Structure 1
Amino acid sequence: MITSTVDELGVAEVVMDNPPVNALPVAGWFRLASALGELGADPAVRVVVLRAEGRGFNAGVDIKELQAATDFSALIGVNRGCAAAFAAVYECPVPVIAAVQGFCLGGGIGLVGNADIIVASDDATFGLPEVDRGALGAATHLSRLVPQHRMRAMMYTSATATAAELHAYGSVLRVVPRAELRDAAFAVAGEIAAKDPTVIRAAKESLNGIDPWDVRRSYRFEQGFTFELNLSGVADKVREEFGK
Structure 2
Amino acid sequence: MSDILFSVDNHVANVRLNRPQGLNAITSEMDDALLDCWNEINNNPDIWAVILSAEGEKGFCIGADVSGGAERKSRMALGGGLTGIGGPLVTCKKPMVAAVQGFCVGGGFELAMCADIIVAADNAQFGLPETKVGIIGECGVVHRAIRQLPYHIAMQLILTGERIKADEARHYGLVNEVVPYADLAEAAARWAGKLNAASPLAVQAAKAAVLGRLGHPLEVALMTRFEQIEEYAATEDKKEGERAGAERRKPVWTGR
More helix by share: 1
Q: Deviations over 1:14-37 (max 9, x none)?
A: 000113211111221232132122
Alpha carbons of structure 1 residues 23 and 51: separation in structure 2 relative to 1, 3 Å = same
Change beyond 3 A, Cα 1:148–1:83: farther
Rg larger for: 2
- Say which of 200, 206, 210 aligns to 1:207: 210
Q: Which residue of 1 aligns with 2:64?
A: 61
Equivalent in 24, 41, 47 of residue 49 of structure 2? 47
1:53 Cα offset (Å): 0.6
C-alpha distance in structure 1 between counterparts of 2:18 and 2:50, whole Å: 17
Conserved 8 A contact 1:89-1:96: no
User: Aligned-pair distance for 1:135?
Assistant: 2.4
Question: What amino acid does structure 2 have at the position aligned with 1:36?
Answer: W
Normalising to structure 2: TM-score of the pair? 0.74
- Equivalent AA in structure 2 for residue 63 of structure 1: V
Paired with 1:151 and 1:129, the residues of 2 have a C-alpha distance of 13
Single out whichever of 86-95 and 105-114 deviates more from structure 2: 86-95
Asked if structure 2 preserves the Cα contact closer than 8 Å seen for 1:122 and 1:176, the reply is yes
Structure 1 unaligned regions, length at least 5? 214-244
SS of residue paired to 1:91? coil
Cα distance, 1:119–1:149 mapped onto 2, change above 3 Å: same
CA distance in 2, matches of 1:110, 1:78: 18
2:156 maps to 153
The answer to whether the aligner puts 1:127 opposite 2:127 as a matched pair is yes
- Whether 2:14 is the aligned partner of 1:13: answer yes
Question: Of 80, 89, 93, which aligns to 2:77?
Answer: 80
Identify unmatched segments of 5+ residues in structure 2.
217-256
Q: Please say if 1:181 is aligned against 2:194.
A: no
- Deviation at 1:155? 1.7
* Count of residue correspondences: 206
Task: Tell me if the contact between 1:29 and 1:78 (Cα under 8 Å) persists in the aligned partners.
Answer: no
- Tell me if the contact between 1:30 and 1:84 (Cα under 8 Å) persists in the aligned partners: no
Map 1:233-244 onto structure 2 (within 5 A): none
Distance in 1 of aligned mates of 2:200 and 2:121: 28
2:83 is aligned with what amino acid? F
Secondary structure of the residue aligned to 1:208 is helix
CA distance in 1, matches of 2:29, 2:36: 10
Q: Does 1:98 align with 2:101?
A: no
SS of residue paired to 1:43 = coil
Q: 1:78 offset after TM fit, Å?
A: 7.2
Call closer, same or farther: CA 1:83–1:207 in 2, change over 3 Å: same
Report the aligned-residue RMSD: 2.1
Residue 36 of structure 2: SS of its match in structure 1? helix
TM-score, normalised to structure 1, is 0.78
Matching residue within 23, 26, 41 for 2:25: 23
